[in-house]
Amino acid sequence: MQPHTTGETDGGRTGEHTPGLHHVTAISSAPQATADFYTEVLGLRLVKRTVNFDDPTTYHLYFGDEVGSPGTILTFFPFERARPGTVGRGQASATAFTVPEDSLEYWLERFETLEVDHDDPHERFGETVVPFRDHDGQPLELVTGESDVEPWPDGAVDTAHALRGFHGVTLDSLEPVATATVLETLGYEARESEGERTRFVAAGDRASVVDLLERPRGERGTQGAGTVHHVAFRTADDERQQAWRERLTDIGLGVTPQRDRQYFRSIYAREPGGILLEIATDGPGFDRDESVDDLGTALKVPPGLEDERDRLAERLPDLEVATPAEVER
């Protein structure tokens, strides 16, 4: 067994704070286009192909580093004929990846060559940011900085320039004051503000940033392809998760009972600003039902659906993902 996480300080074991994001889950359109963009353009690894546990006739695809470490995982519910959503208030409005400072030129050239919709670099809180959009228009960012994430050496992107997990997310809250209280309850600290944006930082060495927007006149977002469905924060284990459940309940949030997501265990709460939050355990990890070498190569279904596996597989659209040996750099 490979370790599920690498280079952790304490993985949130103190229970006093979350170290940062566990994963971000978004809605996309075609599964194949989704896999092509995230593996071939961004160089992430498809670490799991499974079904949406709440709607097993559709895929749930997980992309991340080599093993799908917490803080690197972007997941999708792809619906072939999904209606496009609009990004706005009440949503997580951008997901940012960390890249090394001297990799920006590489990425800008890559975006030009591969015709990725992107903006010019600009400065934000002393870091350089390159906003870009995926095939469904979902807002993403590259942000220069440090991270303890080791890049996957077999991905489509040169290892020196590969994404180093999440930098963080931007939340476009309907109730920024209340959302700030939730973030502070989770252990985030407000650091500084630039215009309508306030930066909150958690204690971890990756995926530790949440920027909170205050845009009272902004348009409200609508859910659909190209929008974020929910944002998940890390916790070390069930006991710490239960403590978070109590603390979030204490500040007035309605928190679900624990749900077994096979690769982690989760609780969910809609915060007052409209954004669906999750707290997910670091383990057991994506290698619980296939080896690290085989991650993402076969359709996996949860134990309760094992009998229906073949029928489900037949109904799902084909999905071809290049193996490391086939990848063109």
Beta bridge partners of 211: 170, 199
Q: Which helix (H) or strand (E) holds 250?
A: helix 238-250
Nearest-approach distance from CB 190 to Zn ion, in angstroms: 25
Among 24, 232, 236, 276, binds Zn ion (CB under 5 A): 232
- Sequence-distant (6+) residues with CB within 8 A of 113 are none
CA 282 – CA 88 distance, rounded (Å): 30
Q: Which residue, 151 or 165, is less far from Zn ion as judged by CB?
A: 165
By the rule CB under 5 A, 21 interacts with Zn ion: no
Nearest-approach distance from CB 295 to Zn ion, in angstroms: 18
Q: Which residue, 172 or 278, is less far from Zn ion as judged by CB?
A: 278
Q: Contact region for Zn ion (CB under 5 A) — 24-32, 107-115, 116-124, 216-224?
A: 24-32
8 A C-beta contact, residue 234 and residue 11: yes
Among 25, 34, 198, 208, binds Zn ion (CB under 5 A): 25
Sign of the C-alpha dihedral computed for residues 257, 59, 19 and 13 taken in this order: positive
Nearest-approach distance from CB 260 to Zn ion, in angstroms: 12
Q: Which residue, 12 or 176, is less far from Zn ion as judged by CB?
A: 12
Copy the structure tokens of residue 132: 């870009």
Q: Which residue, 261 or 309, is less far from Zn ion as judged by CB?
A: 261
Nearest-approach distance from CB 62 to Zn ion, in angstroms: 10
How far are the Cα atoms of 24, 73, 303, 307 from residue 64, in angstroms, in the given order? 11, 4, 23, 29
Among 278, 296, 300, 321, binds Zn ion (CB under 5 A): 278
Q: Contact region for Zn ion (CB under 5 A) — 34-42, 208-216, 231-239, 240-248?
A: 231-239
Copy the structure tokens of residue 323: 């193996």
By the rule CB under 5 A, 269 interacts with Zn ion: no
CA 329 – CA 155 distance, rounded (Å): 8
| Residues contributing to the site for Zn ion (CB under 5 A) | 25, 232, 278
